[in-house]
Chain A
Amino acid sequence: MMNVMNGVNEVNLWSAATAVDQGNPVESGVETTYALEAKSVFKTYASDQGPIQAVAGVSLQVGAGEYVALVGPSGSGKTTLLSMLAALLQPTSGQILLDGQDLVKMNDRRRVALRREKIGFTFQANNLIPYLTAVENVELMLRLNGRLDQAGKQRARELLARLGLGERMNSLPSQMSGGQQQRVAIARALIHNPSLVLADEPTASLDTGRAYQVVETFAELIHEQKHAGIMVTHDLRMCEFVDRVLQMQDGKLVRVDTGSVEIRQLISGGRHP
């Protein structure tokens, strides 16, 4: 743990923390396959002032059914890391494995297909396609994956109903509130049963009450449907519903909070690295 605090950024730190706090199977010698695994990922940008290291050797693992929060001050590299995990940005070096497939070695076409099949997204805003109704937005992921049959349509409706949008199925995004739109985005991110669900500041445009509700539902569904979930947030209060909190600073993972006590301490103390 001290190594982390001193800025020595190793995946083992996270694993160690997990092992200590939660009895991680890695420590017990059992072979574990993670849904997502990042190994020594770097991202360097060229600039007039010389190279800028946005992500500096981050390693992490997220298992199926785990919901992880990625927090850190602005400019800490969390959005860049999320973009690389989402196969939207190529790392300068390192390895990112999703269901054992290396994203870094894939060509553009394969990465597009991977995003469609194995990843679910929600963004801060502009989440939904404005000319599609709530149910059409959700069904779009099934349509794109060639899985829009009667059962799929039924599932989309059930998921929306569960998210409290039973009366809003046929509403356009412009006819819904920010919270309702965010819940439709959650349904869209989950409907095609992806391995990894990524949420970038999903509560940024919501009031506190609505934000809690959205994140809690999201966490419930991730746990229940066994997706690996990562949420980038600047709001530490939203960490109440996650299994682990990864704190980033200057492109590095500098702290891992695991277990309800540690996370509650983080939330109440507002303890940022």
Chain B
Amino acid sequence: MNIFESVTISSYLAVKEIWRSRGRFFLVSLVIALITLLVLFIAALGEGLGNGNREYISRLNAQLIVYQAKSDLLIQASRLSRDRLNAIRRVEGVADAGMLGTANATLAVDGNLQPLKVALLGVEPGHTGEPPVIAGRQFSTANAREVIIDRNTALRSRLSVDDTLTLRVTQGTDDRFYDLRVVGVTSSQQYSLQPSIFTPFNNWDRVRPKSEAEVDVSNPVANVILVRLVDPAQVEAVSRRLVSQVNRIETATLSAAIEALPGYTAQQSTLNTQGGFSLFIGVLVIGGFFQIQILQKVAQIGVLKAIGVGNPLVAAAAVLQIVITTVVGVAIGSLLTFLFSLTFPPTIPIVFNGTTSTIAVAALLLIGPLGGLVSIRYAVRIEPLKALGLAS
């Protein structure tokens, strides 16, 4: 019997059994589908929450972020003045640098919508940090009282280009309201799990929340400075040069900056652990089902072996059944996940990223054969004599 004949016969036996016992196999596929749903949602939640934290930073057209020295790479804890920006721009290998100020604000919206909490980000027009618009235009001047809103803000507030929004911020002990014109919409650029509003840095310094001492004082201080390099491959060399030539700063690559975001690593590892455990449960469920299945089929496998079906064929048929059951389950689960995802509002931080979902699906497809390994081993070891009650 050649390989082609073996594959044909094992496929024939595997498919016939699945078809004639389709109710039983479908139930197992359904369990796998539910596990798929769970794993994909956990992966999407991890992606969504991670995205909410890192989206703006990960989409920056920059290679380095400069922090105040000893700020432990905490953006909120870092303070950098304009003279530092000028020094950074003079360092060899730096193509451009822009200040970034971060703050929180509340967007007063019309109608029945709830006030929207947003990340208020001050960036320098024409420099690194200003997000590219997908609708409308970029900022006109460095002092313009304009905003670019991200897609999330637009969806939740129903604002569009040329609308005027009202920001409510606390300055000193007073709530103050600032009317700003929406000139552009950028792609989703969440920061600190909030939708974002970008405004020129000088305007940001005017409208940001302030303590009593800062009110009516104009001393623009950014949190960090975003640096774009002439040659992105020279990150380490330029980073060393920056630290040696500019006083009291520290630098981080974008990935290091993301890892240092408060709670980011803990959140991601928690979700990854949940995903891992879900996969482990999948292995146990599939392994358990096929083990019971093989135990019920001992006599039948004994007959097959007695009439001349070899172990490779018995194993191949078992593997094929596991693969088919798993693939059907994962396909149903993926479809269910997709259908559910269509019903979610944008406020739920669930993002189906191609890479993450593909990894999750690949892991789910692997757990079938992995879970079935024990049962396949058992099937191969069945002695036809004992199975048929012929052993002495």
Give chain A's interface residues, CB within 8 Å of chain B.
Answer: 45, 54, 79-80, 82-83, 86, 88-89, 109, 112-117, 119, 121, 123-124, 126-132, 136, 140-141, 143-144, 146, 172, 188, 200
| Chain A residue contacts of B302, Cβ below 8 A | 126
| Chain A residue contacts of B20, Cβ below 8 A | 130-132, 172
Of B101-109, B208-216, B221-229, B307-315, the one touching chain A: B307-315
| B184 at interface, CB cutoff 8 A | no
Q: Mark B1-21, 1 if CB is under 8 A from A, else 0.
A: 100010001001100110111
Which of B1, B302, B306 has the largest count of A CB atoms less than 10 A from its CB? Answer: B306
Provide the bound-state CA to CA distance between A126 and B387, in Å.
Answer: 10
Once A79-B392, A143-B12 are accepted as A-B contacts, the answer to whether A131 and B308 lie under 8 Å apart by CB is no
Give chain B's interface residues, CB within 8 Å of chain A.
Answer: 1, 5, 9, 12-13, 16-17, 19-21, 299-300, 302-310, 384-385, 388-392
Interface of B is mostly: helix
Q: List 30 A-B contacts (CB under 8 A).
A: A79-B390, A83-B385, A86-B306, A88-B385, A88-B390, A112-B309, A113-B1, A113-B308, A114-B308, A115-B308, A116-B1, A116-B309, A119-B308, A121-B303, A121-B307, A123-B306, A123-B390, A126-B299, A126-B302, A129-B13, A129-B304, A131-B17, A131-B20, A132-B20, A143-B9, A143-B12, A144-B309, A146-B5, A172-B20, A200-B390
Asked if B5 and A121 sit within 8 Å, CB to CB, the answer is no
Provide the bound-state CA to CA distance between A114 and B19, in Å.
Answer: 30
| Chain B residue contacts of A126, Cβ below 8 A | 299-300, 302-303, 388
Chain A residue at smallest Cβ distance from B15: A131
Chain A residue at smallest Cβ distance from B2: A146
| Chain B residue contacts of A136, Cβ below 8 A | 16
Chain A residue at smallest Cβ distance from B21: A131
| Chain A residue contacts of B1, Cβ below 8 A | 113, 116, 144, 146
Provide the bound-state CA to CA distance between A200 and B21, in Å.
Answer: 29
Asked if B307 and A116 sit within 8 Å, CB to CB, the answer is yes
Provide the bound-state CA to CA distance between A116 and B1, in Å.
Answer: 10
Asked if A129 and B300 sit within 8 Å, CB to CB, the answer is yes
CB < 8 Å: which of B5, B19, B304, B385 contacts A89? B385
Asked if B16 and A131 sit within 8 Å, CB to CB, the answer is yes
| Chain B residue contacts of A123, Cβ below 8 A | 303, 306, 388, 390
Provide the bound-state CA to CA distance between A112 and B1, in Å.
Answer: 11
| Chain B residue contacts of A130, Cβ below 8 A | 20, 300
Chain B residue at smallest Cβ distance from A141: B307
CB < 8 Å: which of B17, B19, B306 contacts A115? B306
Asked if B310 and A112 sit within 8 Å, CB to CB, the answer is yes
Provide the bound-state CA to CA distance between A86 and B305, in Å.
Answer: 12
Chain A: minimal CB distance from B37 (Å): 30
Asked if B307 and A115 sit within 8 Å, CB to CB, the answer is yes
Asked if B304 and A124 sit within 8 Å, CB to CB, the answer is no
| Chain B residue contacts of A146, Cβ below 8 A | 1, 5
Provide the bound-state CA to CA distance between A144 and B306, in Å.
Answer: 12
Once A88-B384, A126-B299 are accepted as A-B contacts, the answer to whether A83 and B307 lie under 8 Å apart by CB is no
Q: What would 7 more interface pairs be, CB under 8 Å, given A112-B310, A115-B307, A141-B307?
A: A54-B392, A79-B392, A115-B308, A131-B17, A131-B21, A144-B1, A188-B307
Which of B302, B304, B309 has the largest count of A CB atoms less than 10 A from its CB? Answer: B309
Asked if A127 and B303 sit within 8 Å, CB to CB, the answer is yes
| Chain B residue contacts of A144, Cβ below 8 A | 1, 9, 307-309
Provide the bound-state CA to CA distance between A15 and B217, in Å.
Answer: 122
Asked if B310 and A109 sit within 8 Å, CB to CB, the answer is yes
